[in-house]
Amino acid sequence: MQAEPPSTGPSRLSPSGASTFVQCPRRWKFRYIDRLADPPGEDALVGNFAHRVLELLLQRPAELRTVAEARTIARSVWQETKEQSDYQDLQLDDEQARHFRWKAWKAIEGLWQLEDPTKIDVRATEQDVQAELAGVPFRGIVDRLEQDADGVIVTDYKSGKAPGPRYSRARLDQVLLYAAAVEASTGELPRYAQLLYLGQRTVGIDVNRQEITEVTDKLAKTWQDIHEACHQGSFDARPGPLCSWCPFVALCPQGNAEVERRTEAKAAQEAAWLTMAS
DSSP structure string for 122-162: EEEEEEEEEEEETTEEEEEEEEEEEEETTEEEEEEEE-SPP
Mean pLDDT of 58-74: 98
Mean pLDDT of 82-111: 96
Averaged confidence pLDDT in the chain:
93
**pTM, two decimal places:** 0.89
Q: What pLDDT does 275 receive?
A: 81
Cα–Cα distance measured from residue 146 to residue 140, given in angstroms and rounded to the nearest whole number: 16
Give residue limits of the domains in the chain. 15-20+118-232, 42-116, 241-277
184 confidence band (pLDDT: 50, 70, 90): very high
Burial class (CB in 10 A: 0-12, 13-18, 19+), 68: exposed
Higher pLDDT: 167 or 136? It is: 136
Cα–Cα distance measured from residue 223 to residue 220, given in angstroms and rounded to the nearest whole number: 5
Top CATH class of 15-20+118-232 equals: alpha beta
Q: What pLDDT does 278 receive?
A: 66
* pLDDT above 70: residue 277: yes
* pLDDT above 50: residue 241: yes
161 confidence band (pLDDT: 50, 70, 90): very high
What DSSP designation does 249 have? G
* pLDDT above 50: residue 255: yes
Q: What pLDDT does 10 receive?
A: 83
* pLDDT above 50: residue 4: no
Contact (CB, 8 A) for 11 and 137: yes
Mean pLDDT of 150-168: 93
Beta bridge partners of 13: 138
Q: What pLDDT does 274 receive?
A: 78
Mean pLDDT of 269-278: 78
91 confidence band (pLDDT: 50, 70, 90): very high
Mean pLDDT of 139-159: 96
Long-range contacts (CB closer than 8 Å, 24 or more residues apart) made by 179-182: 179/154, 179/207, 179/212, 180/131, 180/133, 180/138, 180/212, 180/215, 180/216, 181/129, 181/130, 181/131, 181/133, 181/138, 181/139, 181/140, 182/129, 182/142, 182/145, 182/152, 182/154
Q: What pLDDT does 11 receive?
A: 86
Contact (CB, 8 A) for 157 and 50: yes
183 confidence band (pLDDT: 50, 70, 90): very high
Q: What pLDDT does 39 receive?
A: 83
